[in-house]
Structure 1
Amino acid sequence: MRDLLPLDSDRKALLIAALFHDIGKFQYRAEKTTVRHEENSGRFIREHLRGFKALEDALEEAAKLAEGHHQELAHRHLRSADQLSASERMEDETQVARRPLESIFARIQIDTSVPPPSETFSLWPGPLGPECVFPEKSAGDWKEEESRVLESHRNAWEGFLGELANVPKGLDFPGLLHTFHALLERWCTRVTSAAYKAVPDISLFDHLRVTAAYSDCLYLAEDSEKPIVVVEGDLGGIQRFIYRLRTPEGEQKGMAKQLRGRSFYVRLLNDTLANWILDELGLFRPNLILSGGGRFLILAPNRKDTDDLLRRLRQQANEWLLQELHQDLTLALEWESFSLQEMEDFAQVSKRVGQKIERAKQRRASDLLASEQLFGPFEDEKAELEACPICQKLVEDRKRYGGKCRICALHQEMGGAIPRSRYLVEVVVAEVSQLNPDSNRVLVPFPEFGRAWYLASQGEPGKPTDLEAIVSSLPKGARLRITTLGDSQFLSDEPLRAIDKVNGGRGALDFLFLANHLPQEDGQVKDFETIAEEGPSYPYLGFLRADVDDLGFIFSHGFGRAAAPRQDNVSLSRFATLSRELDLFFSCHVNELAKEFGLYITYSGGDDLFVIGHWKNVLDFGRQLYQDFTRFTCENRNVGLSAGLLVEKPNYPIRFAAQEAQEAQEKAKSRTSQRQGGVDLGKRAFCAFDCVHPWERALELLEYGDALVSLVEKDYELRSLVRFILDLSRAGWTKTGVDVRTYPRLRARLYYALARKADVTAESLGDPGADRKVRLFGRLISKPDLFRDFAVVGNYVLLATRRRR
């Protein structure tokens, strides 16, 4: 860590003032008062932050800075940071100060011919959680609904103050700042930062944290022309690392645990690298703008040693990845310095750094070319080696780890512990070897970075808890962060009791929405064969991958002239809000959805997911996912989602299934369709049974398939008719369209088959009292495009009605 960065009272006062400079807006919307929000912010700091030991020498100065942050003589760094963070605010004709947050997705536009929705979509105040993911369509007349606006903000404000009083008073400054950051995320994510006459679609939490990050950078920077350094990290090789698993004889039942453990290991590695680099830069939690999905983004001050320090950290990280994981994973770490004017358009900033990342990924770990480690020997090559049956790496002493290598054994252990884990505990310590593994708690060490993670269970009444045991075993000088998983209510009794026992207040409290649902039985993760067997129909598995379409283009152009003619730039606050909202959907809501359908989440976060389950449950999950995502994004057709489904036997190798599901998703993303006036937005598609359709069409076809399934279940002989129609449809249509040579003959055969086996005739089609069989199969005549698209319907019906052996 940088030893020379100051942590004096001036820096602490500036950070606290920046993090709470607009908290008075929250109070203003909760109370019927005319007091300016700056005054409320200063009073809040004096009244509610008093008593924290780490703030004693900075409290009054912080209150003064917050009170005056809009004045001409305000602290130059805080004023600049506030203006930069708020540079995205678009003007709005609605001159109402008290109103709820609006969804950021309602104003995205990437195609001038596809207007965003005209309605108002509101997000009401409250604690962050599954119940506040979706926006509510509103009339937008807040003067008429002033009482509701006041009441909802008042309830949230009182909840915020009540939990603030529970924050431990003895935390040191880094831990306290981190805990404040989490509390603001819980309560201010659904409060708008917008001032009078501004569009209220940026959350107060994002504005506060970005202002704090900017303020600290400006305070510490040594280059006044380009004071900000944007640092981006990207882990390469994730897909190969997670899914390159062999399934040896006798190990099939452990693949579910192994897969989940590997996925979670990547998550911990990404957070480890991000937190380690943040610490080495001498920065705090607000400067970590995002971390997840194998990527992180840090805002840093431009100092004389920044370039050399980051180069050293990059090489150190990749040398460890080479030694530990044989370069299965590599870290692309790039950065660039920017002026304040350049930072006003963060879309261009992100593009420039992103281009560096892409070039770095093409020359993986090139900074290791001069390293003595590149060509070995590795530590595990000093003895007689054996191949691990899971990852095929050559390792020493497999017997010690149950016939696997050390890493695969760890992943298996993690996969078994995740379902029963309530807390994730990060320990920062000089020597990770001082931490003793415990048979009751999984320890995931990253010794090169001075960090390790415990997976801890929730305690039982009257018994010592995992958290207390971890704290009691900490070596002197260790720092600890307790993260509550799956719930933003992180200031509960158990972590509070544990954190109070950390020496010197070297601790922090946080929460994390983690999409980690796994089907369980008696506390154990079900294997894939059991998941398939217990499903509602034939025992096959479904593998579904999905992600958001054109996200990079949305970030760079979705808020430009098409969306707002008077606004060209995308600020860091807008970038942060959009990124965090997407992650909330994929991390929080998808986890709830997976519970409903009994699915195994391999990964879900950021803007994509990969789930596994019984094929019918996965298919139904995909249908619901699209409908929920459409609702989440305010029915805005400028924001799309594409997905691919693979259906296979339960013993199909996971490495092949992951790859083929990815290929199905890519097929969906490659869809384009013509319309009058040119090409539409394309994508927004679902690939199932190797057929690609726009989501709306796919849902129509599957709904028709549902009706046929119920019909076949009552009259199983109709299943042969479905198969016959499927064969005809395949023969009559090619990838380029109808086969004009064979189509008339096939159409005649269809009419004949429907008349013989389903009683579909010209007379029965016109009979309003015809039975359900006639009406359903008759659609194939009345709607020719249904016959054309029958491949999805036929495959679905045949698999859903296939009888078990």
Structure 2
Amino acid sequence: MPEQILLQGKILGTEEFLLAGPAEGRSVRSAGEELLAGRSQWITLLCEVLPRALLAELGLARILLGSSGGGQFLVVLPGEARLAAENFLAAAAVQVSELSGGVVRLIWGVTDNLGDWAVIRRRLNHELDSKRCAPLAGADGSAFQPFQHAASVDADPYFAKELGAKVREASKVGWSPETPGKVFAGEGKHTWSLTGNLSPDGVMVARHAAPSDDGKNTAPVQTLARRAQGRSIWGVLRGDVDNFGLRLRRVHSIEEHVPLSVLYKQFFAGELEVICSLPEFWKKVSIIYSGGDDFAVYGSWDALIALAREVQRLFHRFTEENLKDYPGAEGKTISMAIALAPETCYPLASVFEEAGRNLDFAKSNDRDCIYLLGRILEWRHLADASELKDTVTRLVHDFRMSKQFLYQLRSFYRREAYGDSGGETQRTWRFQRRFNRVLSGTRDREFQKLRTHLIIELVGRKTAEVKLRPAGLVALEWARLVTEV
């Protein structure tokens, strides 16, 4: 038997589990915030607690924990501990499946710590893929016999009440062998402190939540929508590192793999917690989760846009400082997407799912970009849209331009996208003629400057070829939301 083995665990089905509705149906007055928060915390903490509990139960040193978080973990074990470790994970996997109604699965792969890291990783991935794609490959004939369906376990109270707000306020989390698939706030046979910074003895988790008006609870989505500037809307922001898996596959040793994984997890858990605690965000956004290469936040629509820009700025600086020795662009850019709720009490899980679809759409078209208000923009164009939004907002507020002004400007984009009709063209250019006649008699230089700047930003600076810029439509929609009450 080899002296040392590597064990890699993965949690599957997390997206489907987070999107699954409550067992008893949704309350009309609730968007399901606490249930979704509790489920995401459970998934996040399982990846952190299970490998630590495994080492504690086997009496092994904590230094054998390689990496954890983001739906997976990696530990180094002595060869004689293999059977005990697999029994431990098998017991946990049973309860994990029960609590999630069979949606979430815990799988693991074990291999000898021998040979080149690329070979070791290939062996681990082969075993994990076989368990993912053929879960009954190792089962006997009884797995294919008729059976009585066991009664489903209603675990929603555990996620919403035992986790959720309790985890946000707790100083530590615990685990007990009697309930190997559960994590509890503040109690258990083995406990670990919760921290916002990387600590060898603690669990690093981002758990900021916007406070309610009385400061006693987490703010519901209705309150977050009311705190937005302009129109009362809330939404979900999701972000994901571009080609992160490819970046990890290019490392040459486990000594390089582990620090790189920890580095990304530390950025998302640590920086996201700090950013959300800033004055402009702490009452407007709540964290759903932060993973090894992704994150999700919900809150006021205007705060989500500003938060996305700040996270991208810090991530760009983070990669420049920490990945300058790594060739290629893999893992050095991040894409995001925002989805807005169509109504105040809309289910959070549905908006979360829509943000995920928007993110997939953005990443399939480009990288290092954001899906915002129906368009995909490169990050540098988002800054242009923000500046143009400020210009339009000034025209509406300072110079009392009517809302028809915004709708008429947007009509140019609709005509370009969906074709033109004669009546629509006449109405649009009639509006432009009236607009120019008013401007021709004004002596307000600032007004003239804003008008010229607006036209240039909408059609571009090249006069030879007039083409409407995608950032312009985002800016107009952005300005419309800001000016609506």
TM over 0.5: yes
8 Å contact kept, 2:31–2:348: no
2:347 is matched with which residue?
653
2:48 is matched with which residue?
271
- Measured in 1, the distance between the counterparts of 2:482 and 2:274 equals 25
2:295 is matched with which residue?
609
1:262 is matched with which residue?
39
Residues 515-549 of structure 1 show CA distances to partners (whole Å, capped at 9, x for unaligned) of 11111132211111111112222111121110110
DSSP-derived class of the 2:209 partner: coil
8 Å contact kept, 1:732–1:746: no
8 Å contact kept, 1:271–1:292: yes
Aligned residue runs from structure 1 range 299-338, under 5 A = 299-303=76-80, 306=82, 312-338=87-113
Per the alignment, do residues 743 and 553 of structure 1 end up closer, same or farther by CA in structure 2, a change over 3 Å counting? farther
1:692 is matched with which residue?
376
8 Å contact kept, 1:668–1:684: no
- Measured in 2, the distance between the counterparts of 1:374 and 1:595 equals 54
1:732 to partner: Cα distance: 0.9
1:486 to partner: Cα distance: 2.7
- Measured in 1, the distance between the counterparts of 2:87 and 2:196 equals 35
1:602 to partner: Cα distance: 0.4
- Measured in 2, the distance between the counterparts of 1:549 and 1:706 equals 30
8 Å contact kept, 2:375–2:470: no
1:778 to partner: Cα distance: 4.6
Per the alignment, do residues 293 and 774 of structure 1 end up closer, same or farther by CA in structure 2, a change over 3 Å counting? same
- Measured in 2, the distance between the counterparts of 1:539 and 1:801 equals 11
2:159 is matched with which residue?
411
Specify the structure having the higher radius of gyration (Cα).
1
Aligned-residue CA RMSD (Å): 3.5
Question: Is 1:518 aligned to 2:209, yes or no?
Answer: yes
8 Å contact kept, 2:248–2:257: yes
1:292 is matched with which residue?
69
Letter in 2 for 1:358: D
Per the alignment, do residues 374 and 600 of structure 1 end up closer, same or farther by CA in structure 2, a change over 3 Å counting? farther
8 Å contact kept, 1:543–1:657: yes
DSSP-derived class of the 2:206 partner: coil
- Measured in 1, the distance between the counterparts of 2:447 and 2:273 equals 45
Residues 623-645 of structure 1 show CA distances to partners (whole Å, capped at 9, x for unaligned) of 11111111111187821101111
**Residue of structure 2 aligned with 1:551, choices 206, 230, 244:** 244
1:761 to partner: Cα distance: 8.1
1:232 is matched with which residue?
8
- Measured in 2, the distance between the counterparts of 1:723 and 1:760 equals 18
What count of residue pairs does the alignment treat as equivalent?
A: 463
1:288 to partner: Cα distance: 1.5
Aligned residue runs from structure 1 range 571-650, under 5 A = 571-596=253-278, 597=281, 598-634=284-320, 638=329, 639-648=332-341, 649-650=343-344
- Measured in 1, the distance between the counterparts of 2:25 and 2:436 equals 48
**Residue of structure 1 aligned with 2:196, choices 469, 480, 486:** 486
**Residue of structure 2 aligned with 1:349, choices 102, 120, 123:** 120
8 Å contact kept, 1:323–1:373: no
Question: Is 1:424 aligned to 2:106, yes or no?
Answer: no
Per the alignment, do residues 410 and 338 of structure 1 end up closer, same or farther by CA in structure 2, a change over 3 Å counting? closer
1:724 to partner: Cα distance: 1.9
Question: Is 1:724 aligned to 2:414, yes or no?
Answer: no
**Residue of structure 2 aligned with 1:361, choices 112, 117, 132:** 132
Give the stretch that moved more between structures: 685-694 or 357-366: 357-366
DSSP-derived class of the 1:634 partner: helix
Structure 2: give runs of 5+ residues left out of the alignment: none
1:455 is matched with which residue?
185
8 Å contact kept, 1:347–1:555: no
Aligned residue runs from structure 1 range 738-777, under 5 A = 753-757=431-435, 770-777=448-455
**Residue of structure 2 aligned with 1:800, choices 475, 482, 485:** 482
Per the alignment, do residues 789 and 254 of structure 1 end up closer, same or farther by CA in structure 2, a change over 3 Å counting? closer
Letter in 2 for 1:632: F
Per the alignment, do residues 271 and 364 of structure 1 end up closer, same or farther by CA in structure 2, a change over 3 Å counting? farther
DSSP-derived class of the 2:236 partner: strand
1:299 to partner: Cα distance: 1.9
8 Å contact kept, 2:10–2:72: yes
8 Å contact kept, 1:335–1:353: yes
DSSP-derived class of the 1:535 partner: coil
Percent identity of paired positions between Structure 1 and Structure 2: 19
- Measured in 1, the distance between the counterparts of 2:145 and 2:34 equals 31
Question: Is 1:242 aligned to 2:18, yes or no?
Answer: yes
8 Å contact kept, 2:236–2:351: yes
DSSP-derived class of the 2:94 partner: helix
8 Å contact kept, 1:290–1:576: yes
8 Å contact kept, 1:758–1:777: no
1:622 to partner: Cα distance: 0.8
Residues 217-257 of structure 1 show CA distances to partners (whole Å, capped at 9, x for unaligned) of xxxxx43xxx5432211111111212212494646437222
1:296 to partner: Cα distance: 0.8
8 Å contact kept, 1:232–1:353: yes
- Measured in 2, the distance between the counterparts of 1:326 and 1:743 equals 54
Structure 1: give runs of 5+ residues left out of the alignment: 1-221, 382-393, 396-404, 433-446, 457-469, 491-508, 560-569, 673-682
**Residue of structure 2 aligned with 1:791, choices 456, 467, 473:** 473
Question: Is 1:701 aligned to 2:385, yes or no?
Answer: yes
- Measured in 1, the distance between the counterparts of 2:421 and 2:380 equals 26
8 Å contact kept, 1:519–1:599: yes
Letter in 2 for 1:516: R
Give the TM-score normalised by structure 1: 0.52
Residues 717-755 of structure 1 show CA distances to partners (whole Å, capped at 9, x for unaligned) of 343222222222132147xxxx7xx59999998666444
Per the alignment, do residues 363 and 715 of structure 1 end up closer, same or farther by CA in structure 2, a change over 3 Å counting? farther
8 Å contact kept, 2:197–2:266: no
- Measured in 1, the distance between the counterparts of 2:49 and 2:202 equals 16
DSSP-derived class of the 1:524 partner: coil
Residues 27-86 of structure 1 show CA distances to partners (whole Å, capped at 9, x for unaligned) of xxxxxxxxxxxxxxxxxxxxxxxxxxxxxxxxxxxxxxxxxxxxxxxxxxxxxxxxxxxx
- Measured in 1, the distance between the counterparts of 2:96 and 2:406 equals 54
- Measured in 1, the distance between the counterparts of 2:421 and 2:333 equals 34
Per the alignment, do residues 748 and 551 of structure 1 end up closer, same or farther by CA in structure 2, a change over 3 Å counting? farther
1:372 to partner: Cα distance: 6.9
Residues 754-795 of structure 1 show CA distances to partners (whole Å, capped at 9, x for unaligned) of 44226698999xx89934234324533453444454332222
Letter in 2 for 1:542: G
Per the alignment, do residues 760 and 270 of structure 1 end up closer, same or farther by CA in structure 2, a change over 3 Å counting? farther
1:501 is matched with which residue?
none
1:134 is matched with which residue?
none
- Measured in 2, the distance between the counterparts of 1:374 and 1:517 equals 48
